Amino acid sequence: MYKPSTNEAWKGRVDVHDGEAGLRWHQAIGLLNLTEQLSPVVPGELSFAFIGFCCDEGVKRNQGRVGAAEGPAAIRAALSSFAYHLPDTVRLFDAGDVICTNQNLEEAQEQLGKKITLLLENGYQPLVLGGGHEVAYGHFLGIEKFSEEHTLGILNFDAHFDLRSYEQQPSSGSPFLQIADRLQNQNKSFIYKVIGLQEYGNTRKLYQTANKLDVNYTTADDVHLYNLHQLKQELNDFLAQVEKVYVTIDMDVFAACYAPGVSAVNAIGIQPEVIKKLMKHVILSGKLLSLDIAELNPAYDIDHRTAKLAASLLYDAVKVWSSKH
């Protein structure tokens, strides 16, 4: 099911006496209804479109903590009061939510894919708000058409490979194996890199699958600011193989003190500063096609820490992307 957004989703402080200089994101956001005729982006403008994926059926199937379906609303709430510092040529839009109903995960993923394709065809930069990590397969369906013309790489900041078998049914743990198989059936390369992997969170079977698929990965033990030069070198090797990149950030890659509100809490995760710098590196390469946030679970969040972190990552991405534009 698809539900257009409303102004009720974007509320925050208003500094009336500051005029235009006091604007915040909730005052600058425009609304898009993807069931109506969509106006293409004005030439010369950079338009970001947030679209939510309200689903945790994949998490439930993967025996995780449910609640991620409320993630998009929590991220919007955290974004709303951010101060607005974007150039006049940059615009922000909310394109509504794809909602998983009646446990029909597969239908929701297909619906998300169609909405993302529509946005890209009209010149918008999609920023997808999850939702469980099953969002990744739906997101891929949306950018698949664009990978026909460009070699696509997938960069996943995650504690897990998410390469589980989907023989019985797809879940939040299987999206990248689904993508790999889909690409293989089309005689295309599966170019996949994971940063922040936790050995204790991945079975030998998952490592075997990753090795079979020639997955490139960096464990959390090596993801530190003091190792940033090496991390960027490894990222450059990945970027050299591809023309476009789809980035997905699973919030469980971070330590629990930064991100307690996730489906699979990570006691010893990584620090946000490293991800911010690596994300900036990817964006400045000019190869970023689209981005999503996954596994934010507001039911377990403390002081909205995880939602605020997710929002700040999106804020930085928009800021850097805008400077590149």
* Residue 98, beta-bridge partner list: 2, 53
* Residue 180, beta-bridge partner list: none
Residue 220 has what pLDDT?
97
* Residue 125, beta-bridge partner list: 48
Number of residues written out for the chain:
325
Strand 90-99 relative to strand 2-3, pairing: antiparallel
Largest distance between two CA atoms of the chain: 61
As a whole number of Å, the CA-based R_g of the chain is 18
Distance CA 115, CA 137 (A): 13
Q: From the CB of residue 101, how many other CB atoms can be counted at a distance below 10 Å? A: 11
Whether this model's pTM surpasses 0.95: yes
Residue with tokens 């922000």: 92
Total domain count, the chain: 1
Distance CA 98, CA 104 (A): 12
Residue 56 has what pLDDT?
92
**Structural domain range at position 145:** 2-324
Peptide bond into 131 cis (omega under 30): yes
Q: CATH number of the domain that 219 lies in?
A: 3.40.800.10
Q: From the CB of residue 285, how many other CB atoms can be counted at a distance below 10 Å? A: 15
Written as tens digits, the pLDDT of the chain (325 aa) is 999 999 999 999 999 898 888 999 999 999 999 999 999 999 999 999 999 999 999 999 999 899 999 999 999 999 999 999 999 999 999 999 999 999 999 999 999 999 999 999 999 999 999 999 999 999 999 999 887 778 999 999 999 999 999 999 999 999 999 999 999 999 999 999 999 999 999 999 999 999 999 999 999 999 999 999 999 999 999 999 999 999 999 999 999 999 999 998 998 899 999 999 999 999 999 999 999 999 999 999 999 999 999 999 999 999 999 997 7
